[in-house]
């Protein structure tokens, strides 16, 4: 979740920072298509699809790490996307792993 608080729950334990990281190489066909798009306009659908898949993989890895450390939630989750040495795209999902319990009252 990208929030600090979850209605109806309280943070019982803060486990700490967790992250999921993946780097995807650029597909030559996508790069060629992307190079032509500025001339004709439009969405770079191949690159969009690749970035969504990469983002989902990073989030899956974040969740795996949080579960492995005993968390049942991740708060303040964010993504960071950067170029990786001109060979691909690095996507990092990160946040704070916590244990949430229902609020009393």
Task: Please state the domain extents for the chain.
Answer: 9-102
Query: Model pTM?
Result: 0.77
For residue 58, pLDDT beyond 90:
yes
Query: What does the pLDDT read at residue 52?
Result: 85
Query: What does the pLDDT read at residue 26?
Result: 63
In this prediction, residues 29-56 reach a mean pLDDT of 68
* % of residues, the chain, pLDDT over 70: 81
Cα 94–chain centre separation: 7
Q: Which CATH code, of 3.10.28.10, 3.30.70.20, 3.30.110.70, 2.40.240.10, is assigned to 9-102? A: 3.30.110.70
The helix (run of H) or strand (run of E) holding residue 29 is: helix 28-40
d(CA 57, CA 23): 10
Tokens of 5: 């608080």
In this prediction, residues 77-98 reach a mean pLDDT of 87
For residue 94, pLDDT beyond 80:
yes
Instruction: Report how far apart, in Å, the C-alpha atoms of 102 and of each of 3, 31, 42, 96 are.
Output: 16, 48, 47, 18
């Amino acid at each position: 979740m990208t929030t600090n608080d979850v209605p109806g729950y309280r943070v019982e334990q803060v486990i700490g920072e967790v992250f999921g990281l993946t780097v995807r190489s650029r597909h030559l066909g996508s790069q060629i298509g992307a190079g032509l798009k500025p001339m004709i306009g439009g969405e770079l659908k191949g690159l969009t699809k690749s970035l969504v898949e990469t983002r989902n993989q990073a989030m899956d890895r974040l969740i795996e790490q949080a579960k492995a450390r005993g968390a049942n939630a991740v708060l303040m989750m964010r993504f960071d996307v950067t170029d990786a040495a001109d060979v691909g795209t690095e996507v990092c999902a990160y946040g704070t792993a916590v244990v949430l319990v229902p609020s009393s009252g």
